[in-house]
């Protein structure tokens, strides 16, 4: 793992983490975090608030589509152009280089998370993950688990760009008795909502 993925939280990020923990009105049965430091740090206040709830690390880390070497000695403008080039290729199987994964592998992790959640005996699981991963989860679920072709990837990228999941946001999902997934509202922990309807 290179330094880019080892980034910790800022002061503001730690505030988000506290707000996320406060957002819970009932204790989850399981707390899960990605192996990336920023997710583990975000999970800390939640684990402190519910010290008796078991904690596990699952492969819900961020989509890393650029090779580790890309992150060395570059400006954010350079990264934007290589990032745009990656998405413009629109190749689900493309691997940028060492340290990167393909879109197919990424979506397999999203599918694997859903499978793990179907299998678990817990009723309420809290998962601390990342922006692209959660956007992909939302898209994959709304789209009814599509098979990945270049066309489907292009539409997935478009749909994901249309979603905003800010730091400290919570994506609430519901798995019904038939095994069908439903998506609720994405809540920002730093914003207090009074009603769901509007």
Partner 1 sequence: MKQVWFIRHGESEGNAGLPHAVSALTPLTEKGMRQADAIPPRIVQRPDLIVISPFPRAQQTAVPTLQKFPDVPTENWDEVCEFMALSDTKHGDKVWHHRIRAADQWWHKCDPDYCEEDGMETWRALIQRVRIARTRLAALPHDFVVVFTHGTFTRTLVWDTVQGSPDITRVAMRRAREFTRMHGLQFYNGDIIPALVSSDGKWFIGGVEHAHQ
At closest approach, how far in Å is the CB of 152 from partner 1? 8
Determine if 183 is a binding residue for partner 1 (CB under 8 A).
yes
At closest approach, how far in Å is the CB of 198 from partner 1? 6
Determine if 123 is a binding residue for partner 1 (CB under 8 A).
no
Q: Which of residues 36-75 bind partner 1 (CB under 8 A)?
A: none
The contacts found for 131-135 with CB under 8 angstroms, 24 or more apart, are: 131/62, 131/165, 132/62, 132/63, 132/160, 133/34, 133/60, 133/61, 133/62, 133/63, 133/106, 133/109, 134/165, 134/169, 134/171, 135/160, 135/163, 135/165
Binding mask 126-155 for partner 1 (x = CB under 8 A): ------------xx-xxxxxx-----x-xx
At closest approach, how far in Å is the CB of 167 from partner 1? 16
3-class DSSP state for residue 22? helix
Q: Could you tell me which stretch among 9-17, 40-48, 101-109, 184-192 binds partner 1 (CB under 8 A)?
A: 184-192
How far from each other are the two terminal CA atoms of the chain, in whole angstroms?
Answer: 42
The pair phi, psi for residue 32, each rounded to 5°, is -120, 140
Determine if 195 is a binding residue for partner 1 (CB under 8 A).
yes
Nearer to partner 1, 73 or 174 (CB): 174
Of 147, 174, 179, 194, the one binding partner 1 (CB under 8 A) is: 174
H or E segment to which residue 187 belongs: strand 181-188
* CA angle (133, 138, 139) in 5-degree steps: 95
* CA angle (149, 117, 133) in 5-degree steps: 45
At closest approach, how far in Å is the CB of 113 from partner 1? 15
Binding site for partner 1 (CB under 8 A): 138-139, 141-146, 152, 154-155, 158-159, 161-164, 174, 176, 180-188, 193, 195-198
């Amino acid at each position: 793992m290179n330094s880019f993925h080892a980034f910790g939280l800022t002061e503001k990020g730690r505030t988000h983490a506290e707000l996320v923990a406060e957002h819970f009105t009932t204790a989850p049965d399981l707390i899960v975090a990605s192996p990336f430091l920023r997710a583990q740090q975000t999970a800390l206040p939640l684990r402190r608030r519910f010290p008796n709830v078991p904690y596990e690390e699952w492969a819900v880390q961020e989509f890393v589509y650029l090779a580790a070497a890309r992150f060395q000695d570059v400006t954010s403008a350079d990264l934007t152009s290589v990032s745009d080039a990656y998405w413009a290729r629109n190749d689900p199987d493309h691997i940028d280089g060492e340290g990167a994964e393909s879109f197919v592998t990424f979506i397999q992790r999203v599918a694997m998370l859903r499978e793990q959640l179907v299998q678990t005996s817990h009723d309420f699981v809290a998962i601390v993950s990342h922006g692209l991963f959660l956007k992909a989860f939302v898209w994959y679920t709304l789209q009814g688990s599509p098979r990945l072709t270049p066309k489907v990837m292009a539409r997935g990228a478009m749909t994901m760009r249309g979603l905003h999941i800010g730091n400290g946001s919570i994506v609430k999902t519901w798995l019904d008795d038939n095994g069908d997934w439903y998506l609720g509202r994405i809540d920002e922990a730093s914003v207090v909502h009074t009603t769901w309807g509007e």
